[in-house]
Amino acid sequence: MTTSILSRPIHPTGLWAWLTTIDHKRIGILYGVTAFIMFLSGGIEAMYIRLQLAAPEQELVSPEIYSQLFTMHGTTMIFLAIMPMGAAFFNYLIPLQIGARDVAFPRLNAFSYWTFLGGAVMLKSSWFLGGAPNAGWFGYAPITSSAYNPGHGIDFWILSLQILGIASLAAAFNFIVTIINLRAPGMSLMRMPIFTWMTFVTSILLILAFPVITVALIEVMFDRFFGTNFFNVGAGGQPLLWQHLFWVFGHPEVYILILPALGIIAEVIPTFSKKPLFGYPVVVLSGVVIGFMGWMVWSHHMFTVGLGPVANSVFAVTTMAIAVPTGVKIFNYIATMWKGSISLTTSMLYAIGFIFLFVIGGLSGVMHSSAASDAQQQDTYFIVAHLHYVLFGGSIMALGSGIYYWFPKMTGRLMDEKLGKLNFLLVFIGMNVTFFPMHFLGLDGMPRRIYTYDSDMGWNLWNAVSSVGYLILALGVLILIVNIIWSVLSGEKADGDPWDARTLEWSMSSPPPEYNFEHIPIVHGIDPYWEQKREGLSTVPISGGSGDDDSHGIHLPQPSYWPLLASLGLFVSGYGLVYLSSSIGLVVSIIGAAITMVAVYAWSFEPVNDPDEGEGH
Amino acid sequence: MIQMKAKVIKGARILQEAVTTQHGTDHEYTTTGLNHRKLLMWAFLGSDCMFFGSLIATYMVYYGKSKVGPFPEDLFSIPITSVSTFVLLMSSMSMVLAYAAIRKGSLKGFRVWILSTALMGMTFLAFQVFEFYEFANHEVHFDCSQVGTGNLSAFEESFQNECIEGVTTVDGIHDSDGNNLTGLTPKTNLFGTTFFTLTGFHGAHVTLGVIWLLSLFFYSFRGGVTRERDLDVDLAALYWHFVDIVWIVIFTVVYLFGVFPGFPES
Amino acid sequence: MWLMGYRIQSKYVVVMAFLFLLVFTGCTPSHHMSTFDTHGPVARSQLVLFYWIFWAAVFVFVTVSIALFYTVLKYRRRSGDPDPPQIHGHTKLEIAWTIIPSIILIVVAVPTVITIFDNANSPEPSALTIEAKGHQWWFEFTYPHPEEPDKKVVTANELHIPVDEVVNVNLESKDVIHSFWIPKIAGKVDMVPNHTNTIWIKADETGEYYGQCAEFCGVAHAKMKFRVIVQTKEQFEAWLKVQALPGLESADPLAVEGRNLFEGDARCWTCHKVEGSKRSRGTTGPNLTHFGSRNHLAAGVIENTQDNLRKWIQDPESIKQGTIMYRDAQVYTDPDKSLTESQVSALVAYLASLD
């Protein structure tokens, strides 16, 4: 019956267990660790940038290397650090929060991680294979065409983004189905934790936004590989088409980065205030509205390209309008703390820091939304300041909050609070010292993406301050690393519910058993575990009360080799395609594609569980 | 604490002895009652809509913007493409019949209809290959007396300089090596670039669909397709119908808009 | 508790005061590219709008921050606290904080839209129109010829305009996307291939202003600058008249030798144009007809002195890395053809004589 070429992997521990795992918790940890390493590598790229700009007219790196540095810094932080760090939390938490034993498609989940890893390694390897991409993370045509960019850097950029896109899509499909279909009985949509809600909205944005960048990248790739004319100016190609496609993807992408952060904050604040989230339906609705309106504002990245006053006015107004649901969320978070019983743990400090910094980033965002005044700000350091307040002050602060909050759940140990507070303080101060002066630099006329500046421009002081800020920030991150390693090894043991929290993931031991829930729980409200603890509304089903048929025991999907192999094939063919112009490249890309096809074929014929054990059904 | 440990051990034991269903996902409890895989397929099709939407948008942005020919009106043959469109539409119907057959448990009926669907898909692909070949080898033929009368297309008019003393008809334009210079390739102009990319990706989707249908056909001989597992067929059918619908849009936007006067000029 | 709250709040005021101090030390109008020192109506309208939104933002920021910190400090947990009241929401309050931001945004949106339209439409479409074209990595400016309508006057990297007059600029690009930005006179508009944009500018004081490419355009993007030289109408017209003349034929023997080199073995003529010369008709590089009259060279990077010019010709990489001249010209790519000291001196003499 079985068509498996390889027998089912059965290793419970060790390297093979991790390579073939389809346990969402292990995949979550893999995602998290990889993303954190990528975050550090993006930080090292930033270090070179800050060193180069610390003083005027420095020649630490050449202009060409500098272009590669800022391109890789942006691409790394967005696609390899913040997005997968969000994915790490999705993976680990969503099944726990909705009362499920795993995601809907565990093997697809494994495939998503390994594909992501392949894409990440491929992009980073470009540093050692003749030069990294150098056209900015936005890669505006026609500077990405072979005429202006003959090296392989752009090819690495295109193909690794395509591979990363496949990974993100696979994960997003999985979470959409998981959230719709695997909620425990009683968990209606309007009882889902906010983090789950935001994951759901993010996943929908992902599956709708990524195909657009896929097409845009295909167009550039065909231009480079096959001499098509998409962005060939001589044949009438329109560079602005790239910008439209890129930002139709790129703006939802911004919300893909920030909505999970808003979700994390909505979990942390109620727990440490001992109050339910203020205005739950409004917070859900505003998240959905943000996700929807994220599609109507893309041209605010293009206010200076000459779309005309009508388009600029429309996009200015829609952009301002998106501040309303964002503001609503912030007000609701503050109202949640109002009259609460707030304990200032590191996680909570990060959450409060998030609100403070995200408000600054949001307000400078409103400043650019005014297209006319944006004409002075566009492509200056004012934008760099804004985007770092949103992505660092927003996303990264929230992820930091999430790390401190869920770390005991994931490892069974608490993180050290003293180190934690020092870590928060340094990151918070470092972040402001690094990025706040960039507002001044921008308004003082310093353009983005310049590798050096003359000493008489008046930009010396604030650039130096900003570089000092980087050191403080780096020290803060270093303490975070120390704290994580120390806490994993010898942190204080945590029980299942160290924070007196509210949602289902805290109702089990820390770390959770492999099967998560012994019984699929029954949900009576928005904060099911809190209600169980305080009001005695038990989430444990009376025998036979849940959808899970206990007489069959606990069904857990089994590990598989195929997702890993399918990802490996994509990785191999990605390298082949970069060198497509040579015959070896062609052969390698065909071999890679063949590996993926065989793996996918074998995968689709491999039952979720080994049939030998299941014929009785 | 001890109790918790006991639970973990019990869980591990249960895990080892897990009694499982062969195709767990088909019969598992779900919140909505919808099957996971079906939901996944719908989500995928939504995503694929954005994929084709972006390709079609690119085509439309560049519609009529090519600086050199050949142009759509030089190449498209609506009758021929209508035939292949009709074949693809009919394949959707036979796909419906294949699904109906497996729902009734008629394996024989299923095999007949799924094979005919796949064959019609292949017919469509053959038409597409033929069409691509024809376009790439397009030649201009016209009578020099027609120059300037309005009977020639803009592309043909662009070769009026060929009508020198003593030349009455132009029969193809070739370079010194005899290569045809009037074919359409992805490199020729914006029309070639966008046309081949859009229809090529659709063709790739059809090819994938044909492989899927044939896999189901052959799998049915090994007992893999049964009435209980009609979902496998259902999913293939969903995909197939989607690819079919996308073609209707492409046929309208690319072929009909491209040829008939009065359709919107961009 | 209350007392502590007040004490912390006064600290907070100090922090806020410090932040404001920072904000104002950030506004340094004396700097070359400061957006706070406006010298034209377009930049001024953009700054007025900026201040308008800035103060609205400060208001929101202060309000939210006070609410945030007050809440955090007042409701800190003390040991033995019972569970706080489980408040799930307050509809009226939530409606209020949906509507109030909306009103603030309308206050911002109305002047925004007005300014967008004001700045988009030239008040005098028939005024002097200049073509500006971005190249990797320099700017080309084309003026209408003062006497003969079918001829053009081409110059590079220095844009002369008359004071107090509207000037329309058509923006184009030769290769990749660039952006045209003169911070003190007008916000930027991009130069996009196959997509001509227009911008109108007006300067209300004579002088020299900094301009820079603001869209990443490749390796030398940081050094793609230009200057705007605002002159009185008489000065401007005199300048344009001179620019419309062909390049001077100098009698200085060194300059003659330089010209022969320029139009001969050094092959400068393949890319550069000098009006009046039969040989030098290239258009890929800047037009050098009146090179000697320019204040800067290498696209606004250094002053146009004989020493700098010598350095530039000898080793362009030392002044601006990545130039196409250094990449393509055979005097740099072919070691056998590289220029000798005396050849460089001749070229410097020739170029300096072109004023």
- Select from B199, B178, B130, B189 the least CA-distant residue to B154: B189
Contact A305 C192 (CB under 8 A): yes
| Residue ranges of A 99-118 with Cβ closer than 8 A to chain B | 104-105
Contact call for residues A517 and A492 (beta carbons, < 8 A): no
Which member of C88, C94, C181 has the closest CB to residue A276? C88
- pLDDT band at residue A554 using 50, 70 and 90 as cut-offs: low
Which member of C68, C188, C192 has the closest CB to residue A352? C68
Find the mean pLDDT for residues B153-168.
84
Contacts of B20 in chain A (CB under 8 A): 552, 555, 608-610, 613-614, 617
Q: Is C170 on the interface with A (CB under 8 A)?
A: no
| Residue ranges of A 48-67 with Cβ closer than 8 A to chain C | 62-64, 67
Prediction ipTM score? 0.92
Given this model, what pLDDT does residue B170 score? 85
Please tell me the distance from the alpha carbon of residue A160 to that of residue A122, in angstroms, as a whole number: 6
Mean pLDDT of chain A: 92
| Residue ranges of A 178-217 with Cβ closer than 8 A to chain C | none
Contact A376 C189 (CB under 8 A): no
Contacts of C45 in chain A (CB under 8 A): 372
Find the mean pLDDT for residues C284-295.
93
Mean pLDDT of chain C: 91
Find the mean pLDDT for residues A253-282.
95
Q: Is A209 on the interface with B (CB under 8 A)?
A: yes
Lowest mean pLDDT among A458-467, B167-176, C147-156: B167-176
Which member of A331, A375, A453 has the closest CB to residue C188? A375
Given this model, what pLDDT does residue B258 score? 83
Q: State yes or no: pLDDT of A28 exceeds 90.
A: yes
Contact C32 A458 (CB under 8 A): yes
> With pLDDT > 70 as the criterion, what percentage of chain A qualifies?
94
Given this model, what pLDDT does residue B148 score? 81
Interface test with A, best of C24, C53, C174 (most A CBs within 10 A): C53
Q: Is A500 on the interface with C (CB under 8 A)?
A: no
Tokens of A374: 């944006």
Contacts 24+ apart (CB under 8 A), C337-340: C337/C265, C339/C266, C339/C313, C339/C314
How far CA A221 is from CA of A80, A156, A491, B199, C233, in Å, comes to 21, 10, 49, 17, 51
Contact call for residues A176 and A203 (beta carbons, < 8 A): yes
Given this model, what pLDDT does residue B1 score? 38
Find the mean pLDDT for residues B106-113.
95
Q: What is the pLDDT of residues A372-410, one digit of tens each?
A: 999 999 999 999 999 999 999 999 999 999 999 999 999
- For chain C, which domains are there? 2-23+30-77+89-120 (1.10.287.90), 129-242 (2.60.40.420), 253-353 (2.60.40.420)
Task: Enumerate the β-bridge partners of residue C186.
Answer: C182
Q: State yes or no: pLDDT of A4 exceeds 50.
A: no
Q: What is the pLDDT of residues C251-289, one digit of tens each?
A: 889 999 999 999 999 999 999 999 988 888 899 999 999
Q: Is A13 on the interface with C (CB under 8 A)?
A: no
Q: State yes or no: pLDDT of A61 exceeds 90.
A: yes
Chains with 3 or more CB pairs under 8 A to chain B: A
Q: What is the pLDDT of residues C7-53, one digit of tens each?
A: 555 666 677 676 666 666 666 778 899 999 999 999 999 999 999 99
Lowest mean pLDDT among A157-166, A277-286, A598-607, C251-260: A598-607
Given this model, what pLDDT does residue C3 score? 42
Given this model, what pLDDT does residue A336 score? 95
- pLDDT band at residue A232 using 50, 70 and 90 as cut-offs: very high
Contacts of C87 in chain A (CB under 8 A): 275-276, 278, 339
> With pLDDT > 70 as the criterion, what percentage of chain C qualifies?
92
Contact C214 A339 (CB under 8 A): no
Q: Is the peptide bond before A511 cis (omega within 30 degrees of 0)?
A: yes
Contact C46 A444 (CB under 8 A): no
Q: Is A208 on the interface with B (CB under 8 A)?
A: yes
Find the mean pLDDT for residues A149-164.
95
Q: What is the pLDDT of residues A175-185, one digit of tens each?
A: 999 999 999 99
Contacts 24+ apart (CB under 8 A), B246-254: B246/B52, B246/B202, B246/B205, B247/B85, B247/B88, B247/B202, B248/B85, B248/B89, B249/B52, B249/B56, B250/B56, B250/B198, B250/B199, B250/B202, B251/B81, B251/B85, B253/B56, B253/B59, B253/B60, B254/B59, B254/B72, B254/B195, B254/B198, B254/B199
Q: Is A224 on the interface with B (CB under 8 A)?
A: no
| Residue ranges of A 143-172 with Cβ closer than 8 A to chain B | 169
| Residue ranges of A 58-117 with Cβ closer than 8 A to chain C | 62-64, 67
Contact B11 A513 (CB under 8 A): yes
Calculate how close chain A gets to B31, using CA atoms only, in Å: 5
Contact C27 A443 (CB under 8 A): yes
Q: What is the pLDDT of residues C49-58, one digit of tens each?
A: 999 999 999 9
Tokens of A56: 């005027």
- One-letter amino acid of A372: A
Given this model, what pLDDT does residue A542 score? 58
Which member of C23, C109, C120 has the closest CB to residue A308? C120
Which member of B21, B31, B51 has the closest CB to residue A214? B51
Q: State yes or no: pLDDT of A496 exceeds 50.
A: yes
Given this model, what pLDDT does residue B157 score? 86
Q: State yes or no: pLDDT of A483 exceeds 70.
A: yes
Calculate how close chain C gets to A456, using CA atoms only, in Å: 8
Higher pLDDT, A351 or B142: A351
Q: Is C163 on the interface with A (CB under 8 A)?
A: no
Find the mean pLDDT for residues A251-268.
96
Calculate how close chain A gets to C226, using CA atoms only, in Å: 14
Find the mean pLDDT for residues A288-303.
94
Contacts of A212 in chain B (CB under 8 A): 50-51, 53-54
Q: Is A593 on the interface with B (CB under 8 A)?
A: no
Contact A437 C26 (CB under 8 A): yes
How far CA B167 is from CA of A326, B143, B201, C22, in Å, comes to 73, 9, 42, 81
Interface test with A, best of B5, B9, B54 (most A CBs within 10 A): B54
Which member of B15, B18, B36 has the closest CB to residue A105? B36
- For chain B, which domains are there? 34-136+183-266 (1.20.120.80), 139-182 (no CATH)
Q: State yes or no: pLDDT of B4 exceeds 50.
A: no
Given this model, what pLDDT does residue B156 score? 87
Tell me A501's DSSP state: -
Phi, psi of C230 (to 5 degrees): -95, 125
| Residue ranges of A 495-514 with Cβ closer than 8 A to chain B | 496, 509, 513-514
Q: What is the pLDDT of residues C65-89, one digit of tens each?
A: 999 999 999 999 888 888 899 989 9
- pLDDT band at residue A609 using 50, 70 and 90 as cut-offs: low
- pLDDT band at residue C324 using 50, 70 and 90 as cut-offs: very high
How far CA C326 is from CA of A280, A451, C314, C333, in Å, comes to 63, 19, 10, 7
Q: Is C213 on the interface with A (CB under 8 A)?
A: yes
Contact A342 C57 (CB under 8 A): no
Calculate how close chain A gets to B41, using CA atoms only, in Å: 9
Measured between CA atoms, the residue of chain A closest to residue C59 is A363
| Residue ranges of A 329-388 with Cβ closer than 8 A to chain C | 330-332, 334-335, 337-344, 352, 355-356, 359-360, 363-364, 366-367, 369-376, 378-380
Q: Is A236 on the interface with C (CB under 8 A)?
A: yes
Q: 3-class DSSP state for residue B118?
A: helix
Number of other residues whose CB lies within 10 A of the CB of residue A336: 26
B170 membership: H or E segment, kind and range? strand B169-171
Contact B22 A607 (CB under 8 A): yes
Measured between CA atoms, the residue of chain A closest to residue C97 is A328
Cα A59 → chain centroid: 34
Given this model, what pLDDT does residue C27 score? 67
The maximal CA–CA distance of chain B, rounded, in angstroms, is 105
Chains with 3 or more CB pairs under 8 A to chain A: B, C
Which residues have a Cβ under 8 Å from the Cβ of A448 and sit 6 or more positions away? A379, A380, A381, A383, A384, C214, C216
Given this model, what pLDDT does residue B152 score? 85
Measured between CA atoms, the residue of chain C closest to residue A145 is C176
